[in-house]
Chains A and B, each alone.
Chain A
């Protein structure tokens, strides 16, 4: 098997995650889909690291994880406060940016 298959898998997961962001209304699931996309990227980065024979790709994947963790913390806090004020977990309810 050619390790390029990992990349194909990453692309597939990324596309699925992106579709999920667009399809799901529940803000928590939407957030999970974003995590899925980030993980797909990480898989690609790890595979690239293997291709190039150095560890820099893994370092970047590591930073991605850290940043994702921070993002999840803040994002979930936002979701909770949003839910408190609006009693809804739907992204479509937060549509105040229209005319």
Chain B
């Protein structure tokens, strides 16, 4: 492996491995982007990451290759899957584009960017490869070499990374934590709550049995009393219910009185018609 890594050109085995696995990686990446369901995207990405881990190993980065498999594929991608499970399938999964021109711009930018990057790499003179053989051998292996660098040259960065991880952990907890302010309800309480205190049939409409049908006028029950239930809760709470049940009766009374007065002047008529004995009696009382 050391000899291979040191050479400018690689062995045929690695070439075969690269072309096969490279194709797989690209397909995985494309599937990540193009598959409709996020679960499938996550699995495709996991595949691509495993392929990349193999490429790390092929490039002499044994430690990173293993870490890639354990951390990325094993931990991070599983985390993704958990979140996908939490969120579930949503309308956002649809591949239909809603922003005008966004897809063409995105494809154009992606293609242009890729072409530019590849052109840049092609332009760079990268013909010589030193290989990692010497570097890995210096401390007795790849892991030892990396450990040596991490705990000497990059020790501060390493420590700060630790702090970052702690901060991220705390941050994730803060973001997802919900403070409970009351006792959790038992299942019995919840089922009782669902039935009691609620009208199971629909509420009566306002003004249905009244002479008005404004929303702030309560409907009348068969016995003539207004039912507050027929008025919406907001108005009820504000006390803005108009009670017209007595009003109607008063109107009626006034009407009868007026007609009575008119009849009083034409007494004979009223008597002859005998329209309303009660009101006629009232009328005669008023006349006295």
| Contact between A and B in the complex (any CB pair below 8 Å) | yes
Which A residues fall within an 8 A CB radius of B? 1-9, 11-20, 22-29, 31-33, 35-36, 39, 42-43, 46-47, 49-56, 58-59, 61-63, 65-74, 76-81, 83, 88-93
- Across the interface, do A16 and B33 meet the contact criterion of CB distance under 8 Å? yes
- Closest chain B residue, CB of each to CB of A80: B176
Known: A16-B29, A20-B32. 12 other contacts (CB 8 A): A1-B14, A7-B126, A11-B114, A15-B114, A22-B110, A23-B106, A23-B107, A36-B32, A39-B72, A63-B158, A69-B75, A73-B168
B76 touches A69 (CB 8 A): yes
Bound CA–CA A98/B52 (angstroms) = 39
Main SS at interface, chain B: helix
Of the 9-residue stretches B62-70, B186-194, B237-245, which lies at the interface with chain A?
A: B62-70
In this complex, what residue of B is CB-closest to A14?
B117
User: Which B135-163 residues have C-beta < 8 A from chain A?
Assistant: 135-136, 142, 145-146, 149-150, 153-154, 157-158, 161
User: In the complex, how many angstroms separate the beta carbon of B235 from the nearest chain A beta carbon?
Assistant: 30
Which among B37-45, B216-224, B262-270 touches the partner chain? B37-45
The verdict on B92 contacting chain A, using a C-beta distance below 8 Å, is yes
Q: B69-106: which residues lie under 8 A (CB-CB) from chain A?
A: 71-72, 75-76, 79-80, 83-84, 86-87, 90-95, 97-99, 102-103, 105-106
Tell me if B38 and A28 are in contact (CB < 8 A).
yes
With a cutoff of 8 Å between Cβ atoms, the chain B residues found around residue A67 in the complex are: 161, 164
Contact status A3-B52, CB under 8 Å: no
> Are A49 and B99 in contact (CB-based, < 8 A)?
no
How far apart are A62's CB and chain B's nearest CB, in angstroms? 6
A2-B9, A18-B109 given; A66·B165 CB < 8 A:
yes
Distance A19 CA – B172 CA, assembled complex (angstroms): 28
Residue contact A79 to B129, C-beta cutoff 8 Å: no
Whether the pair B111, A22 counts as a contact (CB closer than 8 A) is no
Contacts of A46 in B (CB 8 A): 55-56, 59, 61, 64
The distance in angstroms between the C-alpha atoms of A48 and B59, with both chains bound, is: 10
CA distance A8 to B116 in the complex (A): 11
A73 touches B107 (CB 8 A): no
Question: Contacts A22-B102, A43-B56, A73-B169 hold; do A49 and B83 have CB atoms under 8 A apart?
Answer: no
Nearest Cβ on chain A to B62's Cβ, whole angstroms: 10
The answer to whether B98 touches A19 (Cβ under 8 A) is no
Distance between Cα atoms of A16 and B35 in the complex (Å): 13
Given the complex, which residues of B lie within 8 Å of A14, measured CB to CB?
Answer: 113-114, 117
Given known contacts A11-B117, A36-B45, A68 and B76 CB-to-CB distance under 8 angstroms: yes
Q: Which chain B residues lie closer than 8 Å to A91 at the CB level?
A: 92
Q: Which residues from chain B contact A3 at a C-beta distance below 8 Å?
A: 8, 10, 59, 129
State in angstroms the CA–CA spacing of A50 and B79 once bound together: 31
Q: Can you offer 16 A-B residue contacts whose CB atoms are under 8 A? A: A3-B129, A9-B55, A14-B114, A15-B117, A16-B26, A16-B114, A18-B109, A19-B111, A39-B49, A43-B52, A46-B64, A50-B129, A69-B165, A72-B79, A79-B83, A83-B87
B149–A65 contact, CB under 8 A?
no
Complex A-B, nearest 3 residue pairs according to Cβ-Cβ distance, in ascending order: A53-B130, A15-B114, A19-B110
